[in-house]
Amino acid sequence: MAAKIISGNEVGEKIREELKEEINSLKGKGVTPGLATVLVGDDPASQVYVRNKGRACEKLGIYSEQHNLPRDTEETKLLELIAGLNEDPKIHGILVQLPLPKHIDESKVLYAIDPSKDVDGFHPTNVGLFFTEKNFEDMIGKQLFLPCTPHGCIELLQRSGVELSGKDAVILGRSNIVGKPVALLLMANNATVTICHSRTKDLDKICQKADVLVAAIGKPKFVKADMVKEGVVVIDVGINRTEEGLVGDVDFEAVKEKASMITPVPGGVGPMTITMLLANTVKSAKRTEKMMA
Ligand code: NDP
């Protein structure tokens, strides 16, 4: 039987509706959540991402400002801009669109963002807080920002009613922005987690054991139907631009015939990333409101 499709558009829409209520309540108390995006250079994909984030803010009533800087911007100028945004009370979240041009030290820039405005969740303070929490409820309850894409994956699973406790979860990919944080979040939800990467042996066999499979490797249609077991739940994080358009890391048409649930690409994890960014911005604004109260 074909899998149930986990729609990131639908789940994201539901979360954004919930956020709208929180935003209206914050506005009633004199706080309008504000997000600043910073883009250096003219990479077309990055321009689209930043524009979409601005539009998503507008739709929800979040104040947003976009700082588009030329490719040859000096690192010191960028750091000055971030220092200003750190101090700006209108701004509750700062997002620097990656990748940055090669002459700029990416870590230095990300570390310059005030951790209390680091809505991407990449600052070492947030990463450290995230790492030290054991339970998911504690992670979301504390004033730390979970990274958006991994948090979006967990929301998709939870809101689709997938029980994670005691399940075997396999993650393909060990990057700092997806694979590793997804592993921590699944573990915090009591799954037993295996992380695979390019040196993993017997990858097929490991994948075949998965109750939940998260693919984040950036290889089009890498996960084939014979690599998964019947009834697996598949979260496809991959975004690959191919001649046939955007495809994920999973051979969707074939795998959906064996899976019980699966995310499509596009329309799966992608919309959740922006949604969780908005959620983090609202979370940050709520803290401001509490400090004012
Ligand atoms: P990275 O390139 O940083 O990491 C890829 C990971 O996959 C590495 O750990 C690598 O292993 C592993 N890998 C590569 N080839 C294989 C293989 N043949 N078998 C097993 N593991 C392999 O990618 P990201 O984590 O940044 O992104 C992964 C995908 O997710 C991309 O398609 C990206 O576009 C997408 N993405 C989507 C987002 C969304 O919002 N939907 C957000 C972020 C990313 P090793 O470490 O050994 O090199």
Q: pLDDT tens across 63-104, in order?
A: 999 999 999 999 999 999 999 999 999 999 999 999 999 999
**Mean pLDDT, each 10-residue run in order, the chain (293 residues):** 94 98 97 98 93 96 97 98 98 96 97 97 95 91 92 98 98 97 97 98 98 98 98 98 96 98 97 97 92 77
pLDDT of residue 150: 98
Residues 156 and 261 in one domain: yes
Counted domains in the chain? 2
* Domain stops at, among 117, 133, 164: 117
> How do 93-96 and 34-40 pair as beta strands?
parallel
Residues 161 and 75 in one domain: no
Q: State the distance from the centre of ligand 1 to the C-alpha of 215, rounded, in angstroms.
A: 8
Beta strands in the chain (DSSP E): 4-5, 34-40, 63-69, 93-96, 168-172, 192-196, 212-215, 233-236, 240-242, 245-247, 261-262
Residues 170 and 263 in one domain: yes
Tokens of 117: 């405005």
Tokens of 23: 């935003």
pLDDT of residue 288: 85
Centre a 10 Å sphere on the Cβ of residue 53 and count the other Cβ atoms it contains. 23
Task: Look at residue 234 and tell me if it is in a domain.
Answer: yes
Residue of 198, 236, 269 to mutate, ligand 1, most atoms within 8 A of C-beta: 198
Task: Look at residue 105 and tell me if it is in a domain.
Answer: yes
pLDDT of residue 292: 77
Task: Look at residue 39 and tell me if it is in a domain.
Answer: yes
- Which residue minimizes the CA distance to atom 18 of ligand 1? 198
3-state secondary structure of 175: coil
Residues 113 and 154 in one domain: no
Residues 166 and 260 in one domain: yes
Point out the ligand 1 atom lying closest to the alpha carbon of residue 248: 32
pLDDT of residue 293: 73
Residues 242 and 151 in one domain: yes
Between CA 172 and CA 183 the distance in angstroms is: 10
pLDDT of residue 262: 98
Residues 112 and 153 in one domain: no
Provide the CATH number for the domain around residue 90.
3.40.50.10860
Residues 168 and 236 in one domain: yes
Between CA 105 and CA 80 the distance in angstroms is: 14
pLDDT of residue 187: 97
Provide the CATH number for the domain around residue 163.
3.40.50.720
Q: 168: which strand partners? A: 192
Residues 207 and 159 in one domain: yes
Task: Look at residue 227 and tell me if it is in a domain.
Answer: yes
Q: Give the distance, in angstroms, between the CA of residue 182 and the centroid of all CA atoms in the same chain.
A: 10
pLDDT of residue 283: 97
Residues 262 and 163 in one domain: yes
pLDDT of residue 27: 97
Between CA 233 and CA 101 the distance in angstroms is: 38
Task: Look at residue 14 and tell me if it is in a domain.
Answer: no
Q: Which domain holds residue 100?
A: 32-117
Residue appearing with tokens 């620097």: 96
Residues 90 and 161 in one domain: no
Task: Look at residue 189 and tell me if it is in a domain.
Answer: yes
Task: Look at residue 8 and tell me if it is in a domain.
Answer: no
**DSSP conformation class of 122:** -
pLDDT of residue 55: 96
Task: Look at residue 19 and tell me if it is in a domain.
Answer: no
Q: State the distance from the centre of ligand 1 to the C-alpha of 292, rounded, in angstroms.
A: 41
Answer whether 194 contacts ligand 1 (Cβ < 6 A): no
